[in-house]
Amino acid sequence: MARKITLPLTEELAKTLHAGDQLLLTGTIYTSRDAGHKRMCEALAKGEKIPFDPTDATIYYVGPTPAKPGHVIGSAGPTTSGRMDAYAPTMMSVGARGMIGKGARLPEVVEAMKKYSGVYFGAIGGAGALLAKSIKKAELIAYEDLGAEALRKLYVEDMPVVVIIDSEGNNLYEEGRKAYLDSKK
């Protein structure tokens, strides 16, 4: 059974989550991918603020399709997280604790997660129509010129995710595959 979680992702909450946990997230999250992360990290390097308060925030790596009339948002599944590896430790260093995406992360990201009690959630890649159902509000907050890559503030209800890497560095990609292969021995 999936456990219901309410954001923000405090350090206390993050430490209760373990790789392989199936969760339903409710609360505010922010969207950003390659170009948005690049801009935010450039701003941080210059000592400037980023467009949202990163404290205990969760960032969803997504570039949605445009909303059809009457819809809150278009299809909105995760993009490959590895492209944000260069930026993720910086984002965690200012407090952004949660990441939602898909695919492998570099060891330095996992080290930063251990240091800052970060959690990496997986949403189902390619399930953009389904995931859009859990997005109840969407508001463009910055970088409008980036189109699909603009920064958006989302309110999600019961968004289905799985903990891929927890704050201790346990990794579902390694453990899940090993468990399956062991079961076939």
Sites of contact with other proteins (CB under 8 A): 20, 22, 35, 62-68, 71, 74-77, 79-80, 82, 102-104, 122, 124-130, 132-133, 146-148, 160, 162, 172-173, 175-181, 184
Distances (CA, A) of 184 to 19, 179, 181: 22, 9, 5
Judging by beta carbons within 10 Å of its beta carbon (0-12, 13-18, 19+), is residue 136 exposed, middle or buried?
middle
The minimum distance between CB 55 and other proteins, in angstroms, equals 28
Q: Which of 46, 180 has the CB closer to other proteins?
A: 180
CB of 142 to other proteins, least distance (A): 16
How far apart are the C-alpha atoms of 122 and 105, rounded to whole Å?
12
* Closer residue to other proteins in complex, CB, 54/161: 161
Between 83 and 153, whose beta carbon lies closer to other proteins?
83
The span from the CA of 172 to the CA of 178, in Å, is 9
Q: Measured between alpha carbons, how far is 161 from 123 in angstroms, rounded to an integer?
A: 5
Closer by beta carbon to other proteins, 13 or else 72: 72
Helix, strand, coil % over all residues of the chain, rounded to 5: 30, 30, 40
Q: At closest approach, how far in Å is the CB of 133 from other proteins?
A: 7
Looking at the Cβ atoms of 93 and 147, the one nearer to other proteins is: 147
Whose structure tokens read 């009457």?
70
CA distance linking residue 106 with residue 83, whole number of Å: 10
Q: Pick between residue 98 and residue 122 the one whose CB is nearest to other proteins.
A: 122
Yes or no: say if 119 and 98 are a contact pair by the CB < 8 Å rule: yes
Q: Least distance in Å: CB of 112 to other proteins? A: 20
CB of 84 to other proteins, least distance (A): 13
We find the least distance from the C-beta atom of residue 183 to other proteins, in angstroms, to be: 8
